[in-house]
Structure 1
């Protein structure tokens, strides 16, 4: 049963406190890897696995870890999950593992992961901590996939290119071509395009939040104004 606390955690992870759009954490892999949808999805799923595993583990042992050495222990726990996901990718999605390269082991240094372990998992029970890790991961993955899709469509004219690297040979038919070109639009493919794309996504989110805040303010003011009008009559 989802209670109000769980709803808040879900909303924070996906929107209100999104690690990429609000906290602005983990931007190095976000900007470097999100040149295609599949790359973004793969890194996002790997990060989600590490976030969920580390959050849950930290929550279980939080009362047994001395405060003075909690950060090194958190890092070692995160590193164990990163090693786990790296070995799985190396075994089952080797080509994609090579494509993502150094950014798989660099998940250990992702500030979003150590930040959630310190700020949330070390202070809450297992279920909320696990849910927080999953939702923060999904929020990060959503931004990676959206940015990757935009950059891939603009830069290469395709979508879901390289899907077979993640899902198997059958997924090669999933690739969609929007236009054919002899050369790619490098600005979209390279990190400068990622900076611009991320800025646009942040601006869109801020615009939506501002519009919602204005609507909420107007809805609260309307009953007050109606009550004042009736009192004058």
Structure 2
């Protein structure tokens, strides 16, 4: 079972990454990666929703009939999104105003629904919870990497307004790397989102191919 858990973690964070491998959740990926802080906040909100929804679906999967499963999954996701939305509005209001409409739109994100159908509906509670959690964290990782690149090149900063997400104690995370007039504005506009995301997908693919070749060569030497 430990091996299967490690596989779940590896798939969620890297091998079957929702953005970089499956190309799901492109709407928040394009819209909320104008800065690393926005991307991280959106990703963590999605991860919480995915983990809670996967746990609930796995717990009640024997009571959910096949005919009504999709509406039930959407209802469960919507309930968890409402909870996250209210929590962020209460305790992270400034960041909530930035993320705005995209928190409720987690309901229409393909990634949570896809994992409920593909994994949580068929597996026990703990593996399903871990799958939802690490798929969500993989989504967070991808968004934060894309947002970091776009923010550095497009604004000359990194984790600007991080205190909105983590509180005033984390203001040290807000880094200014260059003057605004040296930045390339296009990178924080929609074309920059498509460009950086595409390059990230290509980079991951190259790493996967090289890793595969390395494993094949190691296997050949051992024979």
TM-score by length of 1: 0.92
Q: Deviations over 1:110-138 (max 9, x none)?
A: 10000001110000000000000011011
Give the superposition deviation at 1:171. 2.8
Q: Distance in 2 between matches of 1:133 and 1:78?
A: 12
In structure 1, the partner of 2:95 is 96
- Structure 2 gaps of 5+ residues are none
Max radius of gyration: which structure? Answer: 1
Superposed, 1:1-233 pairs within 5 Å as 3-182=2-181, 185-224=184-223
Q: Which runs of 5+ in 1 are unaligned?
A: 225-233
Deviation at 1:174, TM superposition (A): 2.6
Greater shift in the superposed pair: 177-186 or 110-119:
177-186
1:66-105 deviation per Cα after TM superposition (whole angstroms, max 9, x unaligned): 1100100010000000000000000011111111111100
* Deviates further, 44-53 or 185-194: 185-194
Report the Cα distance in structure 1 between the residues aligned to 2:156 and 2:25, rounded to whole angstroms: 27
Question: Deviation at 1:191?
Answer: 1.6
Q: CA deviation at 1:182?
A: 4.1
Name the CA distance, whole Å, in 2 between partners of 1:217 and 1:119: 29
CA deviation after TM superposition for structure 1 residue 58, in Å: 0.2
Partners of 2:170 and 2:38 lie apart in 1 by 14
TM (norm. structure 2) is: 0.96
Task: After the TM superposition, list the runs of 4 or more consecutive aligned residues in structure 1 that deviate by more than 4 angstroms.
Answer: none
